[in-house]
Amino acid sequence: MGIGGIISAIVVGLIIGALGRLFAPGRQRISILLTIVIGILAALLGTWIAQNIGVAVTDGIDWIELVLQIGLAVIGVMIAARTLGSRRRTVL
């Protein structure tokens, strides 16, 4: 993978991760770096799932693949926010 592939993976990860945060319910206290990583993983996994269920590659936007990617990003953001989000300690 060349530098162009790495940069495009980061940009796609940022967009998919941001959309995941947008559609995830509640407030997410996770870093932008974690959002990008979740977005990259969601994009890769969503593409793999779409190819395995038979979604054809088109010249335009593959809407089914995009919905899968965003859905996976929402799930990833929710899991990360719940497990890694702000850990407040309550003082009694």
Question: Is the residue at 89 inside a domain?
Answer: no
Domain containing residue 60? 3-84
Distance (Å, rounded) from C-alpha 82 to C-alpha 87? 9
Bigger pLDDT: 89 vs 37: 37
Helix, strand or coil, per DSSP, at residue 32: helix
Q: Is the dihedral of CA 18, 24, 27, 28 positive or negative?
A: negative
Question: Is the residue at 56 inside a domain?
Answer: yes
**Domains of the chain: total:** 1
pLDDT of 61 over the 80 cut: no
Question: Is the residue at 55 inside a domain?
Answer: yes
- Whole-model pTM: value is 0.81
